[in-house]
Structure 1
């Protein structure tokens, strides 16, 4: 049985191509949704870009027919702009105010009532990213769904970058002797290139080893880099050891790190970047950037020059740099950075149009990036550069993103089978006992 899907504005603003995500069913866009999209198209951000893209897509469909009638889509479905089912009469005693959300609900409710009068009436489903819209729809007896087609991965299936493998003691001894092991000898489990393997004694012995799958996905080899000391920082757990391996490998231009607050992502990345920029000279500059997305209510415009405006947003980066440089006095870090000249702390606002060669690039809080934004960033990376994307997908401040459709998760899943990329999920907090407990309990 065909279905009727009524789309909320936030679905179109999250994914302009969402109109093609409903197979051979009918997609209905209420007129009020067009008004909301129109009000957003002047925004100079991702929401504004998507609003303009939606406008262009719908305008292109006008060539196929009248928008208030059913226009065929290339996926077999049909789309129409709903103009006739706007009556608020049935809902006026339930929802007093005629807000845009309530007007969308009224359209879905009126369509549903009309379909129920038909012998072959179709189910009407309202699709919204807004939780309260779905709650209101359910209270009215309407079918409501979240828009999940933009999710990169299903719940609890995010790639971690490592796997526990229980093998025979003889195989462990062979690994230590030859510094590598053919995976076919110990398991038939498929592995991704550059995936880590934590090998343990199958009989419960204390022997264990950490290896990294080679680019063919057929052998596991000992870790290459010396993890004893990275700009004064020593890895405290096995996942941090894996992270340092990825951060120092010259053959992996893309590294992604995921972990809760306090797992050491930013500190390890900065330490590795300073080592390869200042000590080894592998890169000419260390570029650190993060998206400008506030936690809670925005504080508005900030006074001063660009550097002064950015300082509050970039303070977490400066906190880690103060720790690495062991600064004690106010202004001491600024003097050091000014003297070095090879460290640049920047907002992602200014990255479009740039080409960034020979640099070690760190993008912090990448979970607040959309798929389009993360594509924009990765396509800026020039020759002989290395980019590190890191963040915590469970701490997202962007209104239209969640743990499974953000740009960081998108990159992790799309690049997990590529030979030039490496990924690891940091699981143990090292900031403090309180920070780890808060991350787990809250």
Structure 2
């Protein structure tokens, strides 16, 4: 292999939030060099002992960097230690990794005079840009304001971290269903059909829907056909014929779907062979209500699961729930009001709504848990409802999903237009990552509920505000 010219090798300067977002991010830049300023290590040191949820990520990142540098001399740490051998495949790193002592920068290289951490990191990147010219120096940060400041200060190359970004625009995100123009059967030239009990399965050519994935729903504009992709072969698809009327007749805990997307979601929620259901869509589309109704139906009526565990990410200000009085469940109650609101809706016609809610919560063994305390658990034979999951990173979602043991069904719901995290956008949210990563997994289904059914007021607000 020909050696790369020195000016073709880029130097990436990492901000702290990159290593909190993905602790092993410094291994993701292939043949390029990676520099971590001393200020970043100071911030990681402060965060690793905090009570924040990212403290674990800070500790993992510090240990990983120490593993690379533990035999290096101070001079080698400054010059750079090779990352070759730290991975396999074409994406394995082969550049150098170094620590830059930005605390000792000469005064004449300080573009920013204030001693804020972001300013010190930008100063370091500007200094490296000057020293390594004509080589390219790139500051990588998830902080949008920091990217603007760095460009304004004269840094030529500033980027977001995109290694874990699977799509470039949210409009390309899988919706969980495909709608054909016109009538579906007009597109099908040959079909083989067979009966499986009460169900009918059609085998059609794959070129009719070449990008189909498992458990994707199929609709047509005529509103007559509705099917589900059950299996994919090299040149054919097997589609379970559901029928729109049959889909719309599904019900759970007294709740009937108000539109076809809700009907498809209810079908996936009630399917015991699907272990992960991902519901996306705007506020008021029925994500939480459908998830809770299906969970109650399967736990109380069908005895398929033992309990319902409800959890959600709490805002940064509430990461330490100790400030709220009471037990863990009482502390989580304010953040899970959407669940209790949905319970009220499901029992609004009962004589004693409060009594019915208390009875059902005990009968279904509904438990409110904090995401922060899910780590280390092993959840068996339960339904886990993860609400507001758009605010979680991919690594946080992995932590929760890997808690699910045998016989557990996970329901993730979220609205990608309501992200509260400082460093996440719709395309970098863990929920987006989850949708794309699991769309080819036979044990999962994704549905985008694009219709607001809460009220005509909520519908108008979603479309026009």
Same fold (TM over 0.5): yes
For residues 385 and 300 of structure 1, the distance between their equivalents in structure 2, rounded to whole angstroms, comes to 29
Query: Per the alignment, do residues 187 and 199 of structure 1 end up closer, same or farther by CA in structure 2, a change over 3 Å counting?
Result: same
8 Å Cα contact 2:306-2:364 kept in structure 1: no
Q: Secondary structure at the match of 2:178?
A: strand
For residues 260 and 207 of structure 1, the distance between their equivalents in structure 2, rounded to whole angstroms, comes to 23
Shift of 1:186: 7.5
For residues 267 and 246 of structure 1, the distance between their equivalents in structure 2, rounded to whole angstroms, comes to 14
For residues 115 and 295 of structure 2, the distance between their equivalents in structure 1, rounded to whole angstroms, comes to 54
8 Å Cα contact 2:193-2:202 kept in structure 1: no
Q: Secondary structure at the match of 1:221?
A: strand
For residues 249 and 226 of structure 1, the distance between their equivalents in structure 2, rounded to whole angstroms, comes to 15
Shift of 1:197: 0.5
Match of 1:232 in 2: 254
Query: Per the alignment, do residues 250 and 145 of structure 1 end up closer, same or farther by CA in structure 2, a change over 3 Å counting?
Result: same
Gaps spanning 5+ residues in structure 2: where? 1-7, 85-92
Out of 279, 283, 288, the residue aligned to residue 261 of structure 1 is: 283
Q: Secondary structure at the match of 1:150?
A: coil
Q: Secondary structure at the match of 2:175?
A: coil
In the superposition, the TM-score normalised over structure 1's length comes to 0.88
Out of 129, 136, 140, the residue aligned to residue 127 of structure 1 is: 140
Deviates more, 1:239-248 or 1:73-82: 73-82
For residues 214 and 255 of structure 1, the distance between their equivalents in structure 2, rounded to whole angstroms, comes to 16
Show the 5 A alignment for 1:391-406: 391-406=414-429
Query: Per the alignment, do residues 357 and 111 of structure 1 end up closer, same or farther by CA in structure 2, a change over 3 Å counting?
Result: closer
Out of 133, 148, 159, the residue aligned to residue 145 of structure 1 is: 159
Match of 1:42 in 2: 49
Shift of 1:79: 1.4
Out of 208, 212, 225, the residue aligned to residue 209 of structure 1 is: 225
Show the 5 A alignment for 1:404-423: 404-423=427-446
- Cα RMSD after superposing both structures: 2.9
Match of 1:182 in 2: 203
Shift of 1:438: 2.8
Out of 127, 139, 146, the residue aligned to residue 110 of structure 1 is: 127
8 Å Cα contact 1:88-1:106 kept in structure 2: no
Match of 2:179 in 1: 164
Out of 382, 388, 400, the residue aligned to residue 405 of structure 2 is: 382
Q: Secondary structure at the match of 2:172?
A: coil
Query: Per the alignment, do residues 354 and 29 of structure 1 end up closer, same or farther by CA in structure 2, a change over 3 Å counting?
Result: closer
In the superposition, the TM-score normalised over structure 2's length comes to 0.84
Q: Deviations over 1:331-378 (max 9, x none)?
A: 435532455253223322332333222222211112222222222222
Shift of 1:261: 1.0
8 Å Cα contact 1:87-1:107 kept in structure 2: no
Out of 52, 72, 80, the residue aligned to residue 98 of structure 2 is: 80
For residues 40 and 207 of structure 1, the distance between their equivalents in structure 2, rounded to whole angstroms, comes to 54
For residues 76 and 352 of structure 1, the distance between their equivalents in structure 2, rounded to whole angstroms, comes to 33
Match of 2:332 in 1: 310
Match of 2:89 in 1: none
Match of 1:203 in 2: none
8 Å Cα contact 1:86-1:103 kept in structure 2: no
Q: Secondary structure at the match of 1:214?
A: strand
Q: Secondary structure at the match of 2:345?
A: helix
